[in-house]
Amino acid sequence: MWRDFSFSSNEAQPPVIQTERPSWFTDQMLFHYHRCHRRVYLDSYGDTAVKDPPSDYFVKLREDSAEHRMAVLEMFKPLKQPIFEKYDWEAGAKATYAMMAEGIDTIYRGVLLAQGPANVRYRSEPDVLVKCAGKSWLGDWYYVPYTVKLGKKPKPEYQLVATFSAYVLAETQGMWPEVAWLLLKERQYPVNLQKYVPKLEEALDNCLNVQNGILTSAGPPEVFISRSRCDMCPWLGHCYQEAKTQNHLSLLPGVTKKRYPTLVEIGFKTVEALANAHPTQLANALDVEQLITEKMIFQAKANWTGEAILLRGEAVDNAADNAADNAADNAADTELQIGQSPFSRYHTRHPDIELYFDIEAAPDKDLVYLHGVLVVNYRTQAETFHALVAESPEAEATAWFDFLALVNSYPRSPIYHFCPYEAQTVRRLGERYGDRGVDIDNLLGRFVDIHKCVVETVALPVESYALKHLARWMGFEWRDEDANGAQSICWYDDWLRTGDRTYLETILRYNEDDCQATYRVKDWLVKFTQRIEARAPE
């Protein structure tokens, strides 16, 4: 399939037009395949009636991506685009080739075709083709593909798509470009084709094998729920319901896509089977530390029984053994592994006042627009929520200093938050705007990450250790069912665009609920560990 192009002839080689209807394989399919094999099948053969409607955040990303693309394309003007009937790809390829043969400097959204195996045709639509000096079938020039992406990092799937464009382009012009370019949000990135061509070969071969298997089998590839990859997929609801029906292992925290095939291969195909695994044997099979497999087995037991489990027993003994070998570097971590957690030094003191802290931010604007702080006063039994909000991006510094003043007025109170983001953001904002005399290091010393406390203290019968999963398992519900961090970003955009305070009030309500949920999780964790410890023998 992959070939080196010689220049024994400089005559232009127009694209081959097939008379039978081809099976298309596109750069978009390659992109989705890299993330999920099942997605390619569902996009081609799935029932569109069961697809999830696009979320507001997905629509926002699509709009932001289009704006970014148009801004980037300004640097390539004047641009010429091939004209052809919509979806008539053969006509599009001929129109694009004619422009290439004419030597047009910059071609926008050209159509490139190449013959794949059997009746498969490869189709790529790079955002821009740029003319360069050099020998090709076209003459004393050739083209280089540019792909525009909204992301900040050159993700592997981006680089595969860019390499695919380079390959199909090489089949059209008779030579490989030296590089394919990614135009990202903050920089241009040259894709190393020598490195990525072998990866593309493997990806295409695997994808086409899956496609051939699909056509001769009863259905799609096996479901696997991966939150980081599935969240924005329109088939998530459909796949999730299938995974729930099967009680699929991918719904178990700790079972990653990399570990799953090995688990199946050695016979652990169900949650019940994994709950009864031997940690040492499992660690050897997965090539991971035994502490990881112990936690995985505890997790399976929690999900199978539906009960919370304190991470003790064998995990405690191994953690203690590890402590002797790694005392200097791992003292703090080892304490957590054997059932101690950072919140213990506070709840044993019974502080009069506790703070619960949650941030709302818009990464696309590099903006923190809300610091929410819930003050819980045990003396007065009062709970007071403070919303320190930047009603415009220019007010970010004001909201930051208001936050500093508030938390500094409770110098002895622990500040509970969920995951490291809040602490990282406080450090970053301190560097950006200053501290107004507040000792940031001392302030951060009061921060307690409840997520870290949970995952290192208990195994819970949940599918995820995200705040919503934990708090809902503990009986807490958000007042707005569709509220989440991504939706909050959309609401803030709506507020800036319209000035309608309803959007702002909804954000504040959601943020307060996040603070309350963190409070609920911390309170449950303290009471659970105290209850277990009270029953433990002396």
- How far is Cα 484 from Cα 410, in angstroms, rounded to an integer? 29
Question: What confidence tier does 211 reach under pLDDT thresholds 50, 70, 90?
Answer: low
pLDDT of 182 higher than 80: yes
Region 227-326: CATH code: 1.10.150.20
- Catalogue the long-range contacts made by 436-445 (C-beta closer than 8 Å, 24 or more residues apart): 436/401, 436/404, 436/405, 438/404, 438/408, 443/404, 443/407, 443/408, 443/415
Closest to 517 in 3D by CA, of 450, 420, 453, 459: 450
Provide the pLDDT for residue 324.
Answer: 30
Instruction: Classify 137 as helix, strand or coil.
Output: coil
Provide the pLDDT for residue 533.
Answer: 74
Q: Structure pTM?
A: 0.85
Instruction: Classify 459 as helix, strand or coil.
Output: strand
Contact 27, 182 (CB under 8 A): no
Question: For 101-109, what is the mean pLDDT?
Answer: 96
The string of pLDDT tens digits covering residues 241-270 is: 999 999 999 999 999 999 999 999 999 999
CATH of 23-216 among 2.40.50, 1.25.40, 3.90.350, 3.90.320: 3.90.320
CATH of 344-535 among 3.30.420.10, 3.40.50.1220, 3.30.9.10, 3.40.50.2300: 3.30.420.10
Provide the pLDDT for residue 117.
Answer: 84
The string of pLDDT tens digits covering residues 357-384 is: 999 999 989 999 999 999 999 999 999 9
Question: What confidence tier does 205 reach under pLDDT thresholds 50, 70, 90?
Answer: confident
Provide the pLDDT for residue 126.
Answer: 96
DSSP single-letter state for residue 48: G
Residue of higher predicted confidence among 531 and 426: 426
pLDDT of 196 higher than 70: yes
The full set of domain ranges for the chain reads 23-216, 227-326, 344-535
Closest to 459 in 3D by CA, of 314, 300, 341, 336: 300
The string of pLDDT tens digits covering residues 304-325 is: 999 999 986 444 334 333 333 3
Question: What confidence tier does 349 reach under pLDDT thresholds 50, 70, 90?
Answer: low
Whole-number average pLDDT of the chain: 87
pLDDT of 346 higher than 50: no
The string of pLDDT tens digits covering residues 3-60 is: 554 433 344 455 554 444 558 889 999 999 888 888 888 888 889 999 999 999 999 9
Provide the pLDDT for residue 212.
Answer: 58
